């Protein structure tokens, strides 16, 4: 799953950068059509990363509750999943917001109602936030992977037995 998230992240950032370069006439292509692909795909990628953490956190809670792990250990492990969400979600949400604002205001720039420099600034910020959030998300996804291995060791067959089972 981590590999799938990484591939989504690379395609997303690549398409956003390509769209920006087309808008600056540094790359051949239709800026508007690429934006119609890049932004929804970027939002899908960021949302997928969020749901990865929501899903793994929920699975870990269910496994630990089912196996009746002692309370201190339960709180420690569940606390780690919550910490990962607290670290990644704000940046992921900001990246989404900047992508949507860039997309919406791009229409106003196309209609001549706003200066292009505003669109360029927002696009640059959106790409930087997207890159930062996806790097952080990948680091936290790797931590989640090792947390899942730990849970698997604690409860026996309920969790993954090796790194190859999760990749």
Q: How far apart are CA 21 and CA 26, in angstroms?
A: 5
Q: pLDDT band at 1, cuts 50/70/90?
A: confident
Per-residue pLDDT at 156: 79
Q: pLDDT band at 80, cuts 50/70/90?
A: very high
The total number of structural domains in the chain stands at 1
* Average model confidence (pLDDT) across the chain: 91
Buried b (16+ CB within 10 A) or exposed e, 85-94: beebbebbeb
The answer to whether 153 and 147 have CB atoms below 8 angstroms apart is no
Region 45-49 average pLDDT: 97
The domain containing residue 143 runs over which residues?
A: 2-166
Q: pLDDT band at 158, cuts 50/70/90?
A: very low
Q: Is 114 left (phi over 0), alpha (psi -120 to 50) or beta?
A: beta
The answer to whether 87 and 140 have CB atoms below 8 angstroms apart is yes
Q: How far apart are CA 73 and CA 99, in angstroms?
A: 39
């Amino acid at each position: 799953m981590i590999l799938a998230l990484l591939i989504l992240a690379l395609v997303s950032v690549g398409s956003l950068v390509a769209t920006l370069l087309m808008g600056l006439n540094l790359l051949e292509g239709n800026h508007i059509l690429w934006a119609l692909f890049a932004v929804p795909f970027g939002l899908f990628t960021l949302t997928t990363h969020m749901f990865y953490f929501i899903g793994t956190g929920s699975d870990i809670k269910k496994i630990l509750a089912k196996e009746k792990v002692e309370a201190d250990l339960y709180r420690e492990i569940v606390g780690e999943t919550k910490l990962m969400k607290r670290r990644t979600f704000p940046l992921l949400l900001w990246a989404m917001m900047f992508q949507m604002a860039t997309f919406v205001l791009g229409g106003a720039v196309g209609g001549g109602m706003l200066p292009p420099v505003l669109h360029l600034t927002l696009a640059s910020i959106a790409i930087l936030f997207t890159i930062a959030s996806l790097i952080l998300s990948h680091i936290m996804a790797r931590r989640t992977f090792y947390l899942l291995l730990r849970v698997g060791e604690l409860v026996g067959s309920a969790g993954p037995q090796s790194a190859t089972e999760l990749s």
